[in-house]
Amino acid sequence: MDQERILLAHGSGGRQTQELIEKIIYPIFEANGGQPLLDAALLPAPGGAGLALTTDSFVVSPLFFPGGDIGKLAACGTINDLAVVGARPLYLTVGLIIEEGFAVADLKRILTSLAEVAKSAGVSVVAGDTKVVERGNADKLYINTTGIGVVAPGVALGPERIAEGDLIIVSGTVGDHGMTILCQREGLPLEAEVASDCAALHDLARALIATGGISCMRDPTRGGLATALNELAAQSGTVMEISEEKVPVQPPVAAGCGMLGLDPLYLANEGKLLITVRPDCGEAVMSVLVKHPLGKRARVIGRVTGRDGRGKVLLETGLGVRRILPGLEGEHLPRIC
C-alpha cells in the first residue's frame, strides 16, 4: 500500500479495499493464527452442522432513501452475507454509534425497519450495544451488525467449487441501489425513478441451494457486479465471460449512468445474487428464480470458460468483441469528462 493514510477509496469495495485488507489487516491477524478474512466465516460446531459468522458496518448517507433506510440495509446486508455461504440466518447483534443530537423519532423508525426485516427472516436480535459520540464526531448514525447462521450438513458453496462450463446468473437488474443513493446526494440535481433494491435474500438463496446445482453465490454490493465477478474469478482461478447486453439494467439507471459517466456494472446492489450454476442445472435454477419475487428479472449473463489459475473476467461488448472487465479502481465518482 503506497498511502500513509486511509483514503475514501479504501472503503470503495474495489482494489484499494482489497489492498488494505491483504497488505495491512490480514497479515496482523494471520500472525495470531487467524484464518482468511471472508465476508462470512464458516466455523466447525458440535453435532455436524456448520456455523457461519459475519459482521458488517453501515455508514450510508442519507439514512433514509427510496426503497429503505440504514436499519433495513443493516439487517438485509448481514442476512445476505450469511445466505450466500449457504447458511440459515438465526441471530443478529446490533451495535449503534449515535451522534449527539440525533432525533429519537428517526432512531425508532430505523430500528423498527431493522426489526421488521429480522422478524420476517426468522432472525432474533439477541444482543446490542449503544454508544453516543459528541456532535461532529460521527455522521448521525452508524450501525454494526453481527450475524450467526447454521449451514445444513451437505451444503457446500464456495469459489473452489466453480468449474469450467458453469453458468453465470444475476438475479435481477444491477445498479439500482447505487443510483438511488447517488441521486439523493447533496447537491446533485438529479432525480431518478428508481428505488434501492435493498432486500433480504435468505429465502431465495435457500430455494436456489435446494436445486443442488449452485456452486457459488455472492451479493454484489460495493464495487458492483464487475468487482464481485473479479473476486470470484481470482478466488476460483477461472476465466469468466459475460455479455454486456445480457446484464439487466433499468432504463433510469442506464440513463443516469450515461449522464454522470458511470458504469452500472460498478454500482452497488443490496438485494441481488450473483450465482454460478452447473450447466445441467441452468433451467432448474432459472425457473426457481423467475418464480420468486426477488428473482423475476434474473438472466443468464455468461459462463465460466476456462481456468488460468489467476482469474480473469472478460466482457463481450455491444460490438460483439471481448475485452477485460477490470474490478473497481478508486471511488466510482461522477465524471464530466
Partner 1 sequence: MCLAVPLKVRKKEGDMAEVGLKGLRQQVSVALTPEVKEGDWVLVHAGFAIQRLEENDALETLSLLEELNEAGN
Partner 2 sequence: MRPGTDAAQLVARVEKLARRLPAGKTVHIMEVCGTHTHAIGKSGLRQLLPGNIRLISGPGCPVCVTHDREIAAYLDLAERDNVVIATFGDLLRVPGVRGSLAEARSRGAAVKVVYSPLEALQLAEQYWDREIVFLAVGFETTAPTVGMTVKKAKEKGLGNFSVLSMHKLVPPVLEALLLDDQVRLDGFILPGHVCTITGVVPFQFLPRRFEKGGVITGFEPCDILQAVAMLLAQIIEGRPAVEIQYRPGVRPEGNPLARQVMQEVFVPQEARWRGLGQIAASGLALREQFRAYDAAFRFSLREPAGPVLEKKPGCSCGDILKGIRIPPQCPLFKTACTPANPAGPCMVSSEGTCAAYYRYEQYRGG
CA distance 205 to 197: 16
Residue with cell 429503505: 68
> What 8-state DSSP symbol labels residue 158?
S
**Binding mask of the shown chain, residues 180 to 219, with x at each position contacting partner 1 by CB under 8 A:** ---------xxxxxx-------------------------
Minimum separation from the CB atom of position 192 to partner 2 (A): 14
Q: Choose one: 2-10, 45-53, 161-169, 222-230; the region binding partner 2 (CB under 8 A).
A: 2-10
Bridge partners, 131 (sequence order)? 97
CA distance 285 to 168: 11
Q: Is 43 in the site for partner 2 (CB under 8 A)?
A: no
Name which of 165 and 330 has its Cβ closer to partner 2: 330
Q: Choose one: 20-28, 80-88, 250-258, 305-313; the region binding partner 1 (CB under 8 A).
A: 250-258
Minimum separation from the CB atom of position 328 to partner 2 (A): 11
Name which of 47 and 189 has its Cβ closer to partner 1: 189
Triad 201, 204, 82: Cα angle to 5°? 45
Minimum separation from the CB atom of position 25 to partner 1 (A): 36
Bridge partners, 169 (sequence order)? 275, 300
Name which of 158 and 237 has its Cβ closer to partner 2: 237
Indicate which single residue of 44, 136, 189, 309 sits in contact with partner 2 (rule: CB under 8 A). 189
Q: Is 178 in the site for partner 1 (CB under 8 A)?
A: no
Indicate which single residue of 41, 51, 260, 284 sits in contact with partner 2 (rule: CB under 8 A). 260
Q: Alpha carbon of 28 to those of 33, 37, 220, 280: distances in Å?
A: 9, 11, 27, 43
Q: Is 303 helix (H, G, I), strand (E, B) or coil?
A: strand
Bridge partners, 322 (sequence order)? 316
Minimum separation from the CB atom of position 312 to partner 2 (A): 7
CA distance 276 to 258: 29
Q: Is 214 helix (H, G, I), strand (E, B) or coil?
A: strand
**Binding mask of the shown chain, residues 206 to 245, with x at each position contacting partner 2 by CB under 8 A:** ----------------------------------------
Q: Choose one: 27-35, 95-103, 153-161, 253-261; the region binding partner 1 (CB under 8 A).
A: 253-261
Q: Is 163 helix (H, G, I), strand (E, B) or coil?
A: coil
Indicate which single residue of 122, 258, 279, 330 sits in contact with partner 1 (rule: CB under 8 A). 258
Minimum separation from the CB atom of position 228 to partner 2 (A): 18
Residue with cell 440535481: 189
Q: Is 261 in the site for partner 1 (CB under 8 A)?
A: yes
Q: Alpha carbon of 255 to those of 162, 178, 252, 259, 334: distances in Å?
A: 34, 13, 5, 6, 13
H/E stretch holding 251 reads helix 251-260
Name which of 256 and 311 has its Cβ closer to partner 1: 256
CA distance 230 to 227: 5
Minimum separation from the CB atom of position 12 to partner 2 (A): 11
Q: Is 106 in the site for partner 2 (CB under 8 A)?
A: no
Minimum separation from the CB atom of position 181 to partner 1 (A): 15
H/E stretch holding 133 reads strand 124-133
Minimum separation from the CB atom of position 250 to partner 1 (A): 8
Strand-strand pairing, 312-316 and 214-218? unpaired
Q: Is 183 in the site for partner 2 (CB under 8 A)?
A: no
Binding site residues, partner 1, CB under 8 A? 189-194, 250-252, 254-256, 258-259, 261, 335-337
